Amino acid sequence: MKRYYLYISIVTLFYLSCKMDEPPITSTDKKAIFSSEEGLKAYSISLYEMFPNATDQAIVEQSLVDFGATNTLGGFILKNSYNENNSSGWSWSQLRNVNYLIENNTSPAISESVRNNYTGLARFFRAWFYYGMVRRFGDVPWIDHPLDPSEKEILYGARDSRELVMEKVYADLMFAAQNISRTTDAAQSSLVTKWTAYAFASRVALFEGTFRKYHHLNLGTSADVWLKRAEDAANQVIQNSGKTLNNNYRALFTSDIPPATETILAIAASKTLGIMHQANWRWASETYGTGLNLIRPFVCTYLQKDGTPYTDRPGWQYEDFYQEFQNRDGRLNATLRYPGYMRDGKLALPVFSGYARLGYQPIKLMVDATNADDKTESTQALQLIRLGEVLLNYAEAKAELGTLTDQDWSSTIGALRRRAGITGGVDSKPTVVDNYFKSTYFPNISDPVILEIRRERAIELLLEGFRFDDLRRWGSGDLLKMTWTGMYISGINIPLDVDHNGKDDVIYYTDNAGLSAAEGLSNNPNPYKVKVSTDPGANIIQVHPAGNGTGYYLAWYTNNDDKKVWGPKQYLYPIPINSINLNPNLQQNPGWENGALNDGN
């Protein structure tokens, strides 16, 4: 057994070191790998290095999102800070590893079904690779074999069309779905199965269909064809995989072994094997990471338990931390530190004086134990693909096609909301637009069904790495410029009992005199103390009048609002200039030519 794992490690290290134009290994080595199922299995392990590691996945949505405020502006939306000179991602080393397996998996000593299984696995990873490249750059070269250095016309060729590449991606995923033999999960859902391929196909097809629709791309394959592909792939998982929604939403993100009921693919960790990550550290530390806080406009999109909008509630604008968490979608408490939240048996409010600049500190991807808060010792598995996403993909694809029925709604969006404790509006499609949600997020969408599916997707998949891509495919990148406003407070220079438990929790003060006066009134000898400013141009936490004469909203970096930019060219990244210098036949993406900066145009 030790020799087997050592063999896997050698294969992994060797092939990941290959470049696109390196020659293949010798025929003797090839025979050892490709003449037995054991060799194919060992080689296939190396493909899993293409997935993000657990730390990468844990921080995937700590920047470039509209729903949160960070301690810095991401360079991609910071005016005049990003162009072809500091772009990245035009890397092809992983592709050779995949194509090498596909080309050499031809031994007659292995049955056709076994060969097809491993070719299917490789084609899944090729689709995974190319989906990432197309999302980032649009047109890219399609390469379906390990290149020889003599193939200059390919090495130095132009990009292939998005149409050609995405059709190849879809063909790869369908071959994978039809030929991967594994249908049940490994213990930690960390291996690719037939259902992984179908589920990922639904993600890819939904992205491509909506991107073509909302960006008005008139390519060979229509947006509707791609949306139907998304529907069909998702339906395969829904009808045949045996997956069901896990009863406990938060357990999906806090268990060392992810719930097999819903998980389709996860990144596993193990303290025993020394494979750990930084999720708790990132989401608890006041100094490490980006310090992401949710903003209040997004928090206001969580429904009430009866299924009605929170913003229909009288006086919602002036509800404090405690009040706004009452009678809400259960995922709010599963995502943020809430009134009464406990860690290691102790009350754990948001760290208002450090992390929680706006009052809303995430907990979704971290566990309640505090031992890994300052080190790389988190072991909870992290979701890559799960049934919840597939239900959303199915519902959105059908809604965009105009074929979603009440039964479809009930079994997808309704099912997700029932799990969250929502009782109203779960059995039939909505017929009335939520004007707050529409005006704040999607003023150009008038269909209440599509609006509600977008709400549901944002809440259900929050912090799982989807939001930036969703905004781009919907043509809604301007939302990345939203002002960062936070929770409502009833006053400054006074002690505040924000969780209504009878003990003062925090003092927001403007100067030492205000702090001293507030401390003299507080029943807590050591409340959080947060210095704020009423000056909109200040570089500390700001307080903006709430409009009711006494209260305020917290705000962060509003003086940088004019530095946030989004323009048409930012729906694609620029090709790095070094790559264009090496291959003059690559043409830069529109708007990024000649070192043009991200200037909002």
| pLDDT, position 53 | 85
Q: Is the pLDDT of residue 5 over 60?
A: no
CA-nearest of 493, 490, 498 to 548 is 490
| Per-residue pLDDT tens digits for 421-430 | 999 999 999 9
CA dist 275 and 343 (Å) reads 24
Instruction: Decide: 441 and 449 in contact? Cβ < 8 Å.
Output: no
- Could you tell me the pLDDT band of residue 7, with boundaries at 50, 70 and 90? very low
Instruction: Decide: 373 and 363 in contact? Cβ < 8 Å.
Output: no
Give the chain's mean pLDDT.
93
What percentage of the chain carries pLDDT values higher than 90?
87
Tell me the mean pLDDT in the region 572-592. 96
Could you state, in order of their start, the residue ranges of all structural domains in the chain?
485-562
| pLDDT, position 85 | 96
| Per-residue pLDDT tens digits for 49-88 | 999 987 887 777 778 899 999 988 878 999 999 999 999 9
Tell me the mean pLDDT in the region 483-489. 97
Taking the complete model, does pTM exceed 0.85, yes or no? Answer: yes
Tell me the mean pLDDT in the region 14-30. 46
| Per-residue pLDDT tens digits for 324-376 | 999 999 999 999 999 999 999 999 999 999 999 999 999 999 999 999 999 99
CA dist 132 and 254 (Å) reads 27
| pLDDT, position 25 | 47
- Could you tell me the pLDDT band of residue 11, with boundaries at 50, 70 and 90? very low
| One-letter amino acid of 556 | W
Q: Is the pLDDT of residue 215 over 80?
A: yes
| pLDDT, position 72 | 83
Tell me the mean pLDDT in the region 464-486. 97
Give the 3-state secondary structure of residue 461.
coil
Which class for 350: exposed (0-12), middle (13-18), buried (19 or more C-beta within 10 A)? Answer: buried
User: DSSP character for 594?
Assistant: G
Tell me the mean pLDDT in the region 13-21. 38
Q: Is the pLDDT of residue 533 over 50?
A: yes
| Per-residue pLDDT tens digits for 238-292 | 999 999 999 999 999 999 999 999 999 999 998 998 999 999 999 999 888 889 9
Q: Any idea how long the chain is?
A: 601
Tell me the mean pLDDT in the region 305-312. 98
Q: Is the pLDDT of residue 409 over 90?
A: yes
| CA 109 from centre of chain | 42
Q: Is the pLDDT of residue 392 over 80?
A: yes
| pLDDT, position 187 | 72
